Amino acid sequence: EMATRNMLGMAVIEALDELNDREKEVVRMRFGLDDGQARTLEEVGKAFGVTRERIRQIEAKTLAKLRNPNRSQKLRDYLEND
């Protein structure tokens, strides 16, 4: 179980490495990847000094990037083998 979690964590980190710094930080904050506490659009917006709508747009664009077959192959491989 622990090894599986570590492998998934590594796959997520590799996928995030494909993003720019802003996209990476928005995803980390929204999904609580660093501390386990997911932040609201409002909270992330305040941290970046933009509106929650702008964070929603950045998040949507970023998730679309991560869903791109060329970028998400490692994550997909992991999830299919689990």
* pLDDT: which is higher, 47 or 79: 47
pLDDT, one tens digit per residue, over 8-43 is 667 777 788 889 999 999 999 998 988 889 999 999
- pLDDT score at 14: 79
* pTM score of the predicted model: 0.75
Which of the 8 DSSP states describes residue 39?
P
Q: How far is CA 62 from CA 6, 42, 51, 71, 79, in A?
A: 23, 17, 17, 11, 20
What's the rounded Cα separation, in Å, for the pair 19 and 6? 21
| CATH class of domain segment(s) 2-81 | mainly alpha
- pLDDT score at 45: 98
Question: Would you kindly state where each structural domain of the chain is located, as residue ranges?
Answer: 2-81
Confidence at 5, pLDDT banded by 50, 70, 90: low
